[in-house]
Chains A and B, each alone.
Chain A
Amino acid sequence: MTQTYVGRADEANAMGTLAVVGKGTPRIDGLDKLTGAAQYVDDMDFGAALLHAAVVESPHGYARILSIDTSKAEAVPGVVKVVTGKDFPYTFGMYMKDRYIFAQDVVRFAGEQVAAVVARDARIAKRAAALVEVEYEALPPLLDPVEALGDGAPLIHPDLGGYEHVPWFFPKENTNIAHWRKTRRGDMEAGWAAADVILEDTYTVPRYAHCAIEPHVVVAKLDQARRLTLWTASQSPYTQRDVFAQALAPLGLSHQDIRVVTPYVGGGFGGKAGVSMEIIGAALATAVPGRPVKVRWTREQEFYNTYQRQGVVARIKLGARKDGTITAIEHEMLWDAGAYVEYGANVVNAAGLSATGPYRIPNIHIDSLCIYTNLPPGGPYRGFGYSEFHFGLESHITRMAEAVGMDPVEFRKKNAIAEGDTLAYGEPMNPSGLQEAIDRTAAAIDWGVEEVSDDPNVAIGKSLCLFWKAPAMPPNASSAAFLKFNEDGSLNITVSGMELGQGYLTVMAQVASEILAVPPSKIRVETPDTDRNPYEWQTVASHVTWSCGNAVAAAALEAREKIYKVVHDARGYEEGSLYLEDQKVKCDTDPDFQMPLADFVVAGIQMPDGTFRGGPIVASGKFMPEFTSALSDPETSQGGHPNVHYTVGATGAIVEVDRETGKMRVRKAALAADVGKALNPTLIEGQITGGLLQGLATVLYEDMRFDENGVLLNPTFTDYKIPTSKDVPDEIIPIIIETPQPDGPFGARGVGEHTMIAAAPVIADAVADAVGVRLKAMPITAERVALALLGGGQEAS
């Protein structure tokens, strides 16, 4: 399974002599972003014809729409068009078509779009939207997933049985269960019988918001020739085009008619994956043909009408022998998936396949239920289900270690999954440096060394938790790359992954640079336009470095072959004797030969008779993981190969807890991730620093509150606190582990999401270690720690 197709660059990798890959190459988007040159969708100019839309939203969590009167809004000067659900009776969705573009007869969450006003000016649109009169019959909302499972609970989607969905979803008709992933392996009775200790408990994780600083925005235009172009702040240009084409097929539009352009995007974190509010722009454009129309979400809408991270109630039953061997796990996850699950059901699916965590467990019984509620639609958020279930699982692992009388780190080392171990769905685990990650994280936080504060009011706790995650992708999710040389020997690469901030463009440039011996400073990697850039599934799942990196490597190799061929044709050297170095073609057998790329990659090579050989060097590459399959037994999940590989690691922390106020301070945090090969260590350290803080924020600061009607009470940065520069750990120690991924570019695998996954249980464990309080629900705010301390260590309910 060793990767050989990169040729010399791969040999260089093995010998540790890579020129560019593995170096902290400065980002190629630096000048754009530090000078103000970088253009985001809202920065683009569309001229005097630009229209603006404002959306009329449901104030109810659950209600029937009795009537809509748009006449007053239509009478406002400057209003061009008012539309309602009746104008667009079309469903859309990525994995399951369970949404309408605008609500039809029922609204299922507070904030759902009911109508829209298009006007010449954003202020006029907003004023007129307030004049649209909607009469509702309010219904009692279902806000709790456990209640939604109960007998007699109203059906939020009575038509569930008829919804089109991907073949790996199993909706339960006439219930609120949109999908039920069951994973079964081994013999549970034997597993419990073999255990000396069985520990069972329930953990609760609430909803969270992504809080990218750039709000969602779309500009859409259906021109007079019926060409629909959309400029979107998105992680998923091609998937968006596909969803738009399917939803708008009744209007006669197909993929060839639709173009999605995605410039720089101001943060995604999963929130800009798939299609959420962008469908409104696509629909409105068809209502005002010939004119571009902009829909820009306010910060409030960003909170309640994009995707939210789903809440989960997780019951875990774990069995272990006295020697520390885990014998069985039962893990039931009840997901609060919200009003629509067209994307969120796949989060539930991913968790259901992997909720053992990175442990070798022979007997497995996992239920992951996607449950409709009358809260905003759940969906992807960095970690994709794993951030959610690791809180309970890793808390429980630590408690089991204590229950069998073992050190929690030793307990984890004993049970940590290793290469070749059998995964929950029956396939073998990929190469993994998990033991090294544990050891180095433990060393970084001086595990086993007790620390005492000078302040008698302050207790200090330590913790170490593990994480793992696999990309959750359809089995045919693929990446492609185009590459062309310019007259000066520089390169343009077009791909359709998104530069979300992770440094993707830079890493793609490094991959091509390594193979073609052209420095990254001479490589431009262009942001997507579905007319020009080749296919990419989406920039999600921490998969683009791996998947698109392979596509770019393939394109670069094709270009290299073409370069060798033209030199062979013109100068006669054997292709096998040629190599690239320092922007030149050189030859093993003729040390005197060298030919700068700039001399011939466009112009060709001139022959003695004055004719030329060659011509512009262009190339393409693609990658699809042809070994995966989502087909498996729905009752056990055995028989398929749903995941390409897992990235594993460990997170540790030293945390101060004030015994009186409950206030916590992270003195030190360490995070080790096995990235296979660090293509750019600086960027990976950036992922660790940023992702860790985002994870810590979910446990220490952020807290989403709804009223009894399902209305979000704190949809602002004033009331939903994300960390500032003063809310960071005193010290963060990033640790990079490199156990090569055989099918990754230069051995790389993804790491973007993983850095936040174990942050929450690390705080729970450190608080328990410091002051003996075990909190089983997130967030773990100072207030809740203080209340628990007052309660003698029992959590206030």
Chain B
Amino acid sequence: MKHSIAIEVNGEAWALDVEPGEVLLDVLREKVGVKSPKIGCETGDCGACTVLYDGVSIRSCLVLGVEADGHEITTLEGLSHDGLSTLQQVMVEMSSFQCGFCAPGIVVAAHELLQQRPDPTREEVQEAIAGNLCRCTGYDPIVDAVLEAARIGPGDASQGKGP
């Protein structure tokens, strides 16, 4: 039996019918067409499907579509609606990524951190992205970029919008 849900994805309202067992990740990818949250493990281990759920980072493979009814979802696509964020800009400039598959989840997780702690320590950054597996970079380049984005801060318009 299908359930009707109403969710907001990156500021846009969606009314959708979902199966009872359908996870939010599949709803986003298959029914909304938002493809930045990736399928990496489907067990909540890798963090490639990380999205913001009412502003809080979650694994979208562990949340059912029906649970998301009435909630706001933000993905990487939503963070760069009006230009790159400082973090995105810095990661591009510093080449702080490799294959890019984990990047959408990592940017979302780091975005949440910078919202809450605009001036984090290295350990806090490591902690914030500890649930996002990256097999390419060895993490240091990503942590460096998050710290650099924090140092620049969201206020510098030339560096893009938001943290």
Contacts and interface: CB of A to CB of B under 8 A. Distances in A.
A145 interface: no
Interface of A: 24, 26-27, 29-36, 38-40, 42-43, 45, 123, 210-215, 264-269, 296, 298-299, 499-503, 506, 682-683, 686, 689-694, 716-718, 722-726, 728, 732
Contacts of A36: 34-36, 75-77, 80, 104
B1 interface: no
A711 B17 CA distance: 39
B91 A30 contact: yes
Interface string B105-128: 001000000000000000001110
Contacts of A42: 38-39
9 smallest beta-carbon distances between A and B, as pairs:
A501-B98, A266-B101, A33-B100, A501-B99, A36-B36, A717-B45, A30-B92, A689-B138, A693-B138
Contacts of B139: 693, 723-725, 728
Given A123-B21, A686-B95, A690-B136, 11 more contacts: A30-B95, A33-B100, A36-B36, A212-B99, A212-B101, A213-B101, A501-B136, A716-B45, A724-B133, A725-B126, A725-B143
Nearest to A728: B139
Contacts of A499: 99
Given A299-B41, A690-B138, A725-B143, A266 B95 contact: no
B133 A43 contact: no
A36 B75 CA distance: 9
Contacts of A27: 92, 95, 97
Contacts of A500: 98-99
Residues of B contacting A: mostly: loop
A26 B137 contact: no
Given A34-B84, A34-B88, A296-B39, A728 B138 contact: yes
Contacts of A26: 92-95
Nearest to A42: B39
B93 A267 contact: no
A211 B135 contact: yes
B98 A35 contact: no
Contact of B92 (A34, A215, A266, A502): A34
Q: Which of A33, A213, A267, A506 has the most CB of B within 10 A?
A: A213
B21 to A, nearest CB: 8
A137 to B, nearest CB: 33
Nearest to B45: A717
A296 B125 CA distance: 32
A502 B127 CA distance: 25
A292 to B, nearest CB: 15
Given A716-B45, A725-B143, A40 B135 contact: no
Given A264-B100, A686-B95, A728-B138, A34 B39 contact: no
B100 A29 contact: yes
A694 B35 CA distance: 27
B97 to A, nearest CB: 6
Of residues B43, B48, B136, which shows the largest number of chain A Cβ atoms within 10 Å of its Cβ? B136
Interface centre among A36, A689, A717, A732 (most CB of B within 10 A): A36
B35 A39 contact: yes
Contacts of B130: 724-726
B93 A728 contact: no
Contact of A34 (B40, B97, B143): B97
A722 to B, nearest CB: 6
Contacts of B75: 36
Given A211-B135, A689-B137, A693-B139, A502 B35 contact: no
Given A26-B93, A36-B76, A502-B98, A214 B103 contact: no
A45 B32 CA distance: 12
Contacts, number: 169
B76 A35 contact: yes
Contacts of A722: 133, 135
B137 A215 contact: no
8 contacts: A29-B100, A34-B91, A36-B36, A266-B100, A500-B99, A690-B137, A694-B138, A726-B130
A682 B98 contact: no
Interface string B124-152: 01110111111111111111000000000
Contacts of B34: 36
A214 B99 contact: yes
Given A214-B40, A717-B43, A264 B138 contact: no
A502 B36 CA distance: 20
B126 A732 contact: no
Given A34-B88, A722-B133, A214 B38 contact: yes
A32 to B, nearest CB: 7
Contacts of A213: 38, 40, 46, 48, 99, 101-102, 133-135
Residue among B34, B104, B138, B142 with the highest chain A CB neighbour number at 10 A: B138
Contact of B42 (A210, A266, A298, A726): A298
A726 B131 CA distance: 10
A264 B94 CA distance: 20
Which interface residue of B45, B76, B141 has the most chain A CB atoms within 10 A? Answer: B45
A177 to B, nearest CB: 33
A328 to B, nearest CB: 38
Interface string B1-40: 0000000000000000001010000000100011110111
Nearest to A688: B138
Nearest to A691: B138
A77 B11 CA distance: 38
Contact of A717 (B41, B97, B125): B41
A691 B134 CA distance: 12
B62 to A, nearest CB: 13
Interface in B34-65: 34-36, 38-43, 45-46, 48
Contacts of B92: 26-27, 30-31, 34
A267 B135 contact: yes
Nearest to B140: A689
A703 B8 CA distance: 42
A717 B133 contact: yes
A34 B87 CA distance: 9
B91 A694 contact: no
B138 A33 contact: no
A299 B45 CA distance: 10
A233 to B, nearest CB: 10
Contacts of A298: 42
B54 to A, nearest CB: 20
Point out which of A264, A693, A694, A718 has the most chain B C-beta atoms below 10 A from its C-beta: A693
A299 B91 contact: no
A213 to B, nearest CB: 5
A49 to B, nearest CB: 15
Contacts of A32: 100
A381 B29 CA distance: 31
A72 B142 CA distance: 50
Interface string B61-84: 000000000000001110010001
